């Protein structure tokens, strides 16, 4: 465990915390972008180059911009008068802490069963490409269909409706 991992973990967790705690929506969106960047760097640290760069390209380059556009279109910059947190925030925090406790306990309990391979896997882009059109061609096509349906669906859902006389 080296210092780089601790630094990246700190950046990611700080970004996530800022995203849920900041009052101003655009600041929260930028904080979650930092968290996305931190996770991309963690992927690169784990020798998953393709996924790391795809994470930057998709999340920072597209999803973050989508979030920011949605905030602007719903006038999120105006802060609500009753505060930004729910009424039952204490219960929510307890639930989240409980979930973390259970998962953390599960991870720490099963250290012996956890695989220990330490050598970096030698994966080239050729292998990724071959896997995508070889073994995983069905998920690839289905994801393509899903993305088409999602695009068309998002456009239709967010479209202005035609003026109908009621």
Partner 1 sequence: MAATPFFANLDRIFILLRDWLVGFLPAAFRPAAGVLLAVIAIVCVFPGLFALTTIFERKGLGRMQNRLGPNRVGPFGLFQPVADGIKALIKEDIVPLSSNSLVHFLAPLTLVVAVFMEFAVLPMGRNMALVDMDAGLLFFFAMSASTELSVFMAGWSSRNKYSLLGAMRAIAQMISYEVVLVLSSVSVVMIAGSLSLTAIVDKQNHYTAGLPHWYIFTPWGCAAFVMFAIAATAETNRSPFDLPEGESELVAGYHTEYSGFKFALFFLGEYLAMFSVSGLGTTLFLGGWSAPLSVLNWVPSWIWFFGKVMMSIFVFIWMRGTLPRLRQDQLMNFAWKFVLPFTLLDLLVTALWRMLGPGWERWVFCSVILLVAYVLMGLGAGRRRHIGPRTYRYAE
Partner 2 sequence: MTAFPSPLVGYLLVAAVLFAIGLAGALIRRNAIIVLISIELMLNSANLNLIAFWRFGPHSSALTGMMFAIFSIAVAAAEAAVGLGLVISIYRHTNTAELDKINRLKG
Per the CB < 8 A criterion, the answer to whether 55 and 40 are in contact is yes
**Residue 97 interacts with partner 2 (CB under 8 A)?**
yes
With CB under 8 A as the contact rule, the residue among 111, 114, 119, 125 that binds partner 1 is: 125
Identify the burial level of 40 via C-beta atoms within 10 angstroms of its C-beta, where 0-12 means exposed, 13-18 middle and 19 or more buried. Answer: buried
Minimum distance between the CB of residue 108 and partner 1, rounded to whole angstroms?
A: 34
Of 134-153, binders to partner 1 (CB under 8 A) are none
In this structure, how many other beta carbons lie within 10 angstroms of the beta carbon of residue 32? 21
Partner interacting with residue 152 (select from partner 1, partner 2, none; CB below 5-8 Å by kind): none
Per the CB < 8 A criterion, the answer to whether 154 and 147 are in contact is no
**Residue 70 interacts with partner 1 (CB under 8 A)?**
no
Which is nearer to partner 1, 98 or 137 (by Cβ)?
137
């Amino acid at each position: 465990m080296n210092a780089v991992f601790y630094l990246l973990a700190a950046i990611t967790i700080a970004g996530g915390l800022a995203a849920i705690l900041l009052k101003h929506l655009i600041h929260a969106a930028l904080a979650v972008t930092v968290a996305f960047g931190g996770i991309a760097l963690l992927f690169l640290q784990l020798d998953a180059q393709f996924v790391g760069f795809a994470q930057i390209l998709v999340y920072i380059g597209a999803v973050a911009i989508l979030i920011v556009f949605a905030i602007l279109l719903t006038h999120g910059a105006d802060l609500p008068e009753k505060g930004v947190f729910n009424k039952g925030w204490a219960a929510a925090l307890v639930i989240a802490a409980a979930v973390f406790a259970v998962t953390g306990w599960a991870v720490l309990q099963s250290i012996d069963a956890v695989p220990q391979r330490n050598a970096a896997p030698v994966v080239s882009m050729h292998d990724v490409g071959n896997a995508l059109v070889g073994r995983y061609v069905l998920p690839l096509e289905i994801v393509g269909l899903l993305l088409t349906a999602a695009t068309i669906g998002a456009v239709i859902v967010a479209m202005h409706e035609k003026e109908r006389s009621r």
